[in-house]
Amino acid sequence: MTVLEEPARAILDRWREAAARGDVDAVLSEAAALLGSAADDPERVRIATGAGGEPSGLAVRLARLAAIDADRPRSIQAVVDQLVTADSIGVVSAGPLTTDVLDRLFRVADELAPVITDRASIARGLAEFGIHPVLEDPAAADRLLVPAVAIHGSRVWSSRPILDAANRATTGDPTAVVVHARPLAHLDDAARRAFRPRPWVDEAADERWSQPYRPPAA
């Protein structure tokens, strides 16, 4: 497996093992190279920029990044806590960011809120998880779950159709949008400067959009 195929978590684990062996220069060199080869992947950008710095502090920096990555269960629960009282939930994707939240939500909710989407392909994908949504405009739901490629402050990166749905939802109800991203995709300032999104990824910012999860300080 090349570094371009290796998940961010696996890279981080490998770097920590290398740093423990004393191969600090090799880790820092690979981190610098990763910024050039994977600048469109926010999690890899986050670990690459987060690893950079004085060699003597590498192990501490990597441990902090690992703590952020390990915070995924809390990041999911923070979103679930905002959706558990929703009358209906709009979804715009059947990807893991969405299904992880819905799976946890349906395990803890006393009553299942209707799930709404406007795409048959998403409905088919959710059906594999036992979720059978209503085919309507998800932006009209009580809460709209927005999976984000990356987040920096109030700025959110996702596809243009998803961001358009978020804007429609906000027009109807300023508190309707709930944004979810993986912990390492919450970019700090250094990662934000290095991040180069793929062509299909657009960005928007709205301070009214709820971001229930905040990663621990690195």
Residue 1: pLDDT above 60?
no
Calpha distance 10→155 (Å, rounded) = 27
Q: How confident is the model at residue 4 (pLDDT cuts 50, 70, 90)?
A: low
Interval 172-188 mean pLDDT: 96
For 190, the enclosing helix (H) or strand (E) is helix 189-194
Nearest CA to 103 out of 122, 123, 125, 129 is that of 129
Q: How confident is the model at residue 138 (pLDDT cuts 50, 70, 90)?
A: very high
pTM, 2 dp? 0.93
CATH number of the domain located at residue range(s) 72-205 in this protein: 3.40.50.10470
Q: How does pLDDT run across 15-43, given as a tens digit for each residue?
A: 999 999 999 999 999 999 999 999 999 99
Q: How confident is the model at residue 100 (pLDDT cuts 50, 70, 90)?
A: very high
Question: In this predicted structure, what is the pLDDT of residue 21?
Answer: 95
The token pair that represents 32 in the structure block: 């610098």
Calpha distance 50→28 (Å, rounded) = 10
Question: In this predicted structure, what is the pLDDT of residue 2?
Answer: 41
Q: CA 96 → CA 60, 165, 182, distances in Å?
A: 30, 19, 10
The token pair that represents 150 in the structure block: 């990356």
Calpha distance 197→102 (Å, rounded) = 26
Q: What is the DSSP letter of 48?
A: H
The token pair that represents 6 in the structure block: 């290796």
Calpha distance 208→175 (Å, rounded) = 6
**Taking the domains of the chain in order of start, what are their residue ranges?**
8-69, 72-205
- Give percent above pLDDT 90 in the chain: 90
